[in-house]
Amino acid sequence: MAIGIGVLGSGIVGGALLRRLIEDRQALGARTGLDLEVRKVAIRSPKKVRSFPIPGHLVTTDATEVVSDPGVQLVVEVMGGLEPAGELVRTALRSGKAVVTANKELMAARGSELLDEAAKAGVSLLFEASVGGGIPIIRPLTETLAGEPLTRVMGIVNGTTNYLLTRMEDGAAFDEALAEAQARGYAEADPTADVSGADAVAKAAILASLAFGTVVDPAHVYREGIEHIQSVDVGYASNLGYVLKLLAIADKAPEGITVRVHPTLVPSAHPLAAVRGVANAVFVQGPEVGELLFSGPGAGGGPTATAVLGDVIDAARELLAGPRVTPRVRFGPGRVRPFEESTTKWYIRLRVIDAPGVLAAIAGAFGEAGVSIKSVWQEGRQDEATLLMITHDAVEANLRAAVSSMSDLDVVSEVAATIRVQSDEP
């Protein structure tokens, strides 16, 4: 029996998927025992030149034709965005069609609602490609590790920012690295979603929700991008034994869940420190499994299409097996606590007057805020010096108070940089 497939979107990922579904149909059938037949493809612009020429009889510019076609049992959504993708996915599920999506924005904002719709209809909603491109991480969190009380999920989930920081580590300035990334196709003409951390926020919300069984709204994820990162701090970090990464971090403690995206100094011996270029990686911790690392290509048509295709095969098998009884993902109550309550440590770079009493004044500001200094380095003499400090773990709100107090000191010319340092404890 052939499984009719409808595809919403034919961009980079959609084109790579269609090529494999159409050109490799017989080979896929031989490997999987499934007959996967593309029956309808919705596109926005018929005149656009595409990486894979879609047979004309499959094409429609009306996306509703895909979800309403009785010959389509499985809908693949690779168009992106909240709408009309959200309504199309919901309509497909309510019509009893299985859905596979790569849409991180949609699953972060409405994943719980759509998974409920899938459960009511007894069909699959699979979204492996929504985080980490070709890296298998959604299925491990929802299946293999479903019984493990995970305490942390932390990862590099944006290839553009990882490329930029890698090039800065190699000595390039931010603007130079960004121009290279755009020329190579690693960054969009408008890279705001990447460098601001917004792209990583959606992925962090998905990972945290699945890891801890509590719905995490993207609005509750703390966000800080890499726009203000300076090459000098990347260099100092390297000298101190750290590598700078933009991390998505989700921690679970008795007080609740904290989810954040921000630049982080990672110890050079940590597995994430070795993840360079456009690669992605997700680091998972639990009391029984210890530490697990999932890494690989986090974007691109081919790797992402592989993840989508894996979900298509899984969903097709479930369609043939009959309605599902037990939903794959269940969410329960849980507190997402404000980031200000969490415990972190900071790297701080100060420009100070090189005079007696400077360290005492700065130490006083830290002490009044309840923050302990772990290490101090000084560079420069004469009129002005640079102080580099790394604190011990402290409450985020207290660290901010200490920095605010230091800014008012006469001996401090400038608080030039503050970057969080990866802590071993949630």
The whole-angstrom separation of Cα 357 and Cα 411 is 9
The C-alpha angle 118, 121, 122, rounded to 5 degrees, equals 80
Q: 241-265 pLDDT, tens per residue?
A: 999 999 999 999 888 999 999 999 9
pLDDT at 426: 47
Task: Report whether 127 contacts 78 (CB < 8 A).
Answer: no
Domains of the chain: 2-133+301-321 (3.40.50.720), 147-296 (3.30.360.10), 342-421 (3.30.70.260)
57: left (phi > 0), else alpha (psi -120 to 50), else beta?
alpha
Q: 317-372 pLDDT, tens per residue?
A: 999 998 776 677 888 888 999 999 999 999 999 999 877 888 899 999 999 999 99
* Set 203, 245, 252, 345: catalytic member: 203
Q: 261-283 pLDDT, tens per residue?
A: 999 999 999 999 999 999 999 99
Residue 155 token pair: 């990862």
Task: Report whether 11 contacts 82 (CB < 8 A).
Answer: no
SS (H, E, C) 271-286: HHHHCCCCEEEEEEEE
pLDDT at 382: 63
pLDDT at 425: 54
**pTM of structure:** 0.94
The C-alpha angle 230, 234, 238, rounded to 5 degrees, equals 165
345 is known as an active-site residue: no
DSSP structure class, residue 354: -
Residue 250 token pair: 């989700």
Q: Is the torsion defined by CA of 311, 223, 278, 154 positive or negative?
A: negative
395-401 contacts, C-beta under 8 A, 24 or more apart: 395/340, 395/341, 395/342, 395/343, 395/370, 396/339, 396/340, 396/341, 396/342, 396/343, 396/344, 397/340, 397/341, 398/369, 398/370, 398/371, 399/344, 399/345, 399/346, 399/369, 399/371, 400/340, 401/369
The whole-angstrom separation of Cα 293 and Cα 280 is 10
Given a cut of 70, the residues of the chain with pLDDT beneath it are 325-326, 381-382, 424-426
